[in-house]
A and B are shown apart, each in its own frame.
Chain A
Amino acid sequence: MKPATFTYCSPSTIEEAVKLLEEYGDTGKIIAGGQSFIPILNMRMSEPECLIDINQINELNGVRVEEGVLKIGALTKQRELEQSDAIKIHVPILSEATPYIGHVQTRNRGTVGGSVAHADPSAELPLCFLALDAEIVIQSIDGTRKISINDFFITYLTTEVMPEEILTEIHVPLSEHTGYAFEEFSRRHGDFALAAVACILSVDEIGKVDKVRLVLGGVDAIPLLAEEAMEYLAGKSITEETIERAVELAVKDADPDEDLHASKEYRVHMAKVLTRKALIKAYNRALGKEV
């Protein structure tokens, strides 16, 4: 399994990269960590004319907080995210979810932006960023645009990033939420999730749910924002009854594919189990209870 021939470019600025993207259009492809893309090339499922390696673009690296927004550069390594103190303090759900991405040996190379741009519906980071209501920053020779993650995923492995565009940053608003949880089930550690759930939750002064965002992965072509369950839970106490109702609402639109790893029914069942666990964990954390 060897890739087909290609021209290799290694720009050192975003400016140069977007010029190359414009020049090559559909036939040029960005390579970041290569942990999803090189297997695709090795199996010749893609044969681009030009590979635009963005690893030398230093301005795409790193995590910083600016005016209440956590900004993560697209080229930030998944391993760096996992170990970052800023992430642990400001968005601990990311520290909790990152170790589920592949293995330490793939996280040493794989990037945050690559994971979001690749948009596998069971990938951990897209789920978390959707739960966190993030914004995605995209650039082309025409300039920069920002898009809400709610409108970002189109279908399986397809996003709003156009062939001549590059994803440069992910912006996470720092809110007062204190409850969070990430739950996942896969056959072996490091495998893609059969089902996964990300939840962000805050409570009011009497312990009722103030705001909640709930996202299910592995059950549809894109990460599924469980809007009905979210609306239902707002203003309610978390009890056995409200959780059960929320769980039913959350999987209402779930339509997972069946494959050799799991049947449709099994995935939906796992999504329910994980949603229940995530809601309870996030709620307890929001109340300041140890979990």
Chain B
Amino acid sequence: MSNLSIEQKMNVSLSINGREVEAEAEPRKLLSDFIREDLGLTGTHVGCEHGVCGSCTVLYNGAAVRSCLMFAVQANGSDIQTIEGLAKNGEQHVLQQSFTECHGLQCGFCTPGILMSSLEMLNSGEEPTKQEIKEMLSGHLCRCTGYTGIIAAIERACGIKKCKEGDN
């Protein structure tokens, strides 16, 4: 038997929105809680904690994943992006602009997660079809909008040439 105490915290160091951070976490700490409670970034929302709603979606080494289905210790050494990293120098990211213009949100609870999945799509550099956008959105629950505005917003953002992340 291992003598490791189960309460023992482990060191987690990762890059979040381009900033290097280091903190301690119990192994059972979900990445979503680590981001919200330990790093103070509450833009990542938590809805269901079993992978269904998509509100906790972040980019983990560039891939959209559920942060409620990962432990913080598993993210050690990784590159995480959350909604807080989207706007640059006070300017909204093209996705945020599109969501505003196309009425892609109402209460906004689902929005940070949807924006992170949309960012992965945008970063792939390939213009998605409406069907591909819908399939991607199947991983997100929105109880307000009826999705039409969300689809229009993503189409708009992905249609704007060279609007990859960072170019705004």
Contact = CB atoms under 8 A, between A and B. Distances in A.
Interface of A: 1-10, 23, 34-35, 38-39, 41-43, 49-51, 53, 55, 79, 99, 102-106, 108-109, 188-190
Nearest to B57: A105
Contacts, number: 99
Contacts of A4: 28
16 contacts: A3-B28, A4-B28, A5-B28, A7-B6, A7-B27, A8-B10, A39-B69, A50-B2, A103-B54, A103-B139, A105-B117, A109-B63, A109-B66, A188-B138, A189-B134, A189-B135
Contact of B49 (A1, A103, A190): A1
Q: From DSSP, what is the main secondary structure of chain A's interface residues? A: loop
Nearest to B58: A105
A190 B51 CA distance: 12
A53 B74 contact: yes
Contacts of A109: 60, 63, 65-66, 69-70
A108 B65 contact: yes
Contacts of A3: 28, 30
- Interface-centre pick from A10, A35, A99, A104 (highest chain B CB count, 10 A): A104
A1 B64 contact: no
Contacts of B138: 103, 188-190
B6 A5 contact: yes
Given A7-B6, A23-B2, A38-B70, A105 B54 contact: yes
Contact of A34 (B1, B69, B135): B69
B7 interface: yes
Contacts of B147: none
Nearest 6 pairs of A and B residues by beta carbon: A103-B139, A8-B27, A39-B50, A108-B63, A189-B138, A5-B6
A51 B74 CA distance: 11
Contact of B139 (A6, A10, A42, A190): A190
B61 to A, nearest CB: 9
A239 to B, nearest CB: 34
Contacts of A9: 2
Contact of A55 (B74, B117, B134, B136): B74
Contacts of A188: 138
Contact of A35 (B1, B27, B69, B73): B69
A49 B3 CA distance: 12
Contacts of B50: 1, 38-39, 42-43
